[in-house]
Amino acid sequence: MAKINLLPWREELRKERQQEFIGIAVAVALAAAALVWFVNSNIDGQLAAQKSRNAFIQKEMSVLTEQITEIQQLRDKREQLLERMKLIQDLQGNRPIIVRLFDEIARSMPDDLYFTSLDIKGTQVSVKGRAKSNNRVAALMRNFDDSDWFDAPNLISVKAEKNDYNTFEVTMTQVDPKNAKKEVE
């Protein structure tokens, strides 16, 4: 006799394929979820590592900024100390020059001539005084002109006063003979 299969084999086949499809879909969904979780945790790990590196860099930058500030303060202090040292050395070096300058002024004064004021500003020297005659003022000008310590004496004014004295004013430039010889050479 012939066998007739009355069972709904198409429905069973369809059910099998549907279950197979659902199984594959669930497997793909699980694989996709695992992949998303893996990628997300990897990115989160990289982000956390980068944040920790950034925090480290910021901390080191603040330390370096403090060191740079300290170095700049030390440089400024060094410059101030060097300026002070230079000023002190200049004052120490100029001390004998002032003595020599006053000595040269005293040697340049002829008789019957008196200074009423002496003003030194930088290298400019201004002398005011009284003289018995114009010849004394002329002798003073010649003495200043012959001196190695003064350059370009300039007679500003000579006025005759009532008491037989002439008042005068002379300006000149102070010169260091050692430096003047170096410039000539």
The pLDDT of 137-161, averaged and rounded, is 87
* Sign of the torsion formed by the C-alpha atoms of 91, 94, 96 and 102: negative
Greater confidence (69 vs 90) lies with 69
Nearest-angstrom CA–CA distance, 107 and 119: 17
**With pLDDT > 70 as the criterion, what percentage of the chain qualifies?**
92
Contact by Cβ (8 Å): 149, 175: yes
Question: Would you give the DSSP letter of residue 132?
Answer: S
Say what the pLDDT of residue 1 is. Answer: 60
Q: Whole-prediction pTM value?
A: 0.50
Domains of the chain, first to last:
88-184 (3.30.1360.100)
Greater confidence (155 vs 71) lies with 71
